Structure 1
Amino acid sequence: MKTPPTIIVLGAGRGTRYTGPRHKLAESLGAESVLKRTVSNALASGLPVLVVTTPAFAAEVADLVARRDIVVLGEADGLPLGGMGDSIAAGVAARPGAGGWLVMPADMPLARPTSMAAVAAALASHPLAYAQYRGRRGHPVGFGAELFSELVRLSGDEGARRILARYPGHAVELDDAGVLLDMDTEADLASLRAHVAAEDVASAVRR
């Protein structure tokens, strides 16, 4: 049986654009924090999940995933080191035998589990695939196992842009605005909370 792709949840960034009272990943979104909701959605996809985060958040996700599925980057005081490229490389290096990797930023808590599974499925026939909503590219972005050597060499804040520019990506068109909705500002958080409240109302009506 073929090894499935692993979702790498990237939660080791500084979040410097966010000016709220705490780190953006610690903000509440419904009954969970932003970070926990993203990880919970990734787990609900049925795919293996690895969380790359800082010491400050390692304990928070430890009740969702096993310790072996957490890669901790940064100093003991919680300050992260490196950029997105470093986080991707660390996550991929921790799961070298995976059937590919889905990069999922931890500040995108509304992307649906089914969307992640759809991008993972596309890697069976494409070296690179990404979620798309109404023609706009979003996350997760999936990389086939053949890109391992390039992914583990990533560093800095550029992430995987050079790889994305080098290989033709396959767009997986989805009916899920959550693949575009990230959280960089307090206005973004308010928007995410409004989406969650609307979903809760819709769920209550269906019952």
Structure 2
Amino acid sequence: MEAMEAMEAIILAAGYSSRARDFKMTLKLGTKTVLEHTISKFEGICKRVIVVSGFQWERIQEAITKMQNSYDMEIVCVVNPSFDEGMFSSVQRGCSEVGACSFFVTPGDCPLVHKETIWKLAGAPGNVVIPSFQRKGGHPIKLTGEIKKRIAEAGVDATLRKILQDYEKNYMNIDDPGVLMDLDTPEDFMQATEYYNELP
């Protein structure tokens, strides 16, 4: 339990949301925004959540300020000034804030992962732990400090996929379709809303 309490999470929320045709981080699923759903799943597992913003960072900061007192963990917003260089730049920005021995990384538009899934990932061994549904890898992924060091040292042409190629991956097959659900398009959001409304 102590190791889990020391964990942190990086949530990537810097993109333009161009395919979604709306700013998807602040879209509502029920009473919470997409971003808040994603953040909330780490409560009780992580001591701190680092939200990496970029495009419309002020809206992200405002949303976090509103929800900060609702959760028993620290939620911080950091800005990636180079967010338009791609997602890996946001991963690097988030990693620069991580002090824990292990941490999660997830896009901010993956709000439907079961909290139980994150608990299972938190307790799993390995440098790279990836949830899978029907043998397809999803999010969040759990990484160690060794990976964080490699990310920090990587050049501008690097990607997380390239870095992780050098490591054995612990895929955890989990009965949770939420690990594969992101909200890139309006159609994705409609499907996510239907799924969310059918949850017990």
Say whether the fold is shared (TM-score over 0.5).
Answer: yes
Contact 2:7 2:45 in 1 (8 A): no
Residue in structure 1 matched with residue 27 of structure 2 by the alignment: 27
Supply the distance in 2 between the matched residues of 1:68 and 1:197 (Cα, whole angstroms). Answer: 27
Aligned-partner SS, 2:116: helix
For residues 75-106 of structure 1, what are the alpha-carbon distances to aligned partners after superposition, in whole Å with 9 as ceiling and x for unaligned?
Answer: 9xxxx5432111111111111x2011211110
1:85 aligns with 2:68: no
Name stretches of at least 5 consecutive residues in structure 1 with no aligned partner: none
Residue in structure 2 matched with residue 4 of structure 1 by the alignment: 6
Contact 2:113 2:176 in 1 (8 A): yes
**Cα 1:155–1:15, aligned 2, differ >3 Å: closer, same or farther?**
farther
Residue in structure 1 matched with residue 142 of structure 2 by the alignment: 142
Identity of aligned residues (%): 25
Residue of 77, 84, 96 corresponding to 1:70: 77
Supply the distance in 2 between the matched residues of 1:143 and 1:46 (Cα, whole angstroms). Answer: 15
**Cα 1:178–1:67, aligned 2, differ >3 Å: closer, same or farther?**
closer
TM-score (norm 1): 0.82
Aligned residue identity for 1:62: T
Residue in structure 1 matched with residue 17 of structure 2 by the alignment: 15
Residue in structure 2 matched with residue 47 of structure 1 by the alignment: 46
CA drift at 1:147: 1.7
Aligned-partner SS, 1:62: helix
CA drift at 1:157: 8.7
Name stretches of at least 5 consecutive residues in structure 2 with no aligned partner: none
Supply the distance in 2 between the matched residues of 1:38 and 1:99 (Cα, whole angstroms). Answer: 21
**Cα 1:29–1:154, aligned 2, differ >3 Å: closer, same or farther?**
farther
CA drift at 1:144: 1.1
Higher strand proportion, which one? 2
Aligned-partner SS, 1:56: helix
TM-score (norm 2): 0.85
Supply the distance in 2 between the matched residues of 1:82 and 1:16 (Cα, whole angstroms). Answer: 15
1:120 aligns with 2:122: yes
Tell me how large the CA RMSD over aligned residues is: 2.3
Supply the distance in 2 between the matched residues of 1:155 and 1:24 (Cα, whole angstroms). Answer: 29
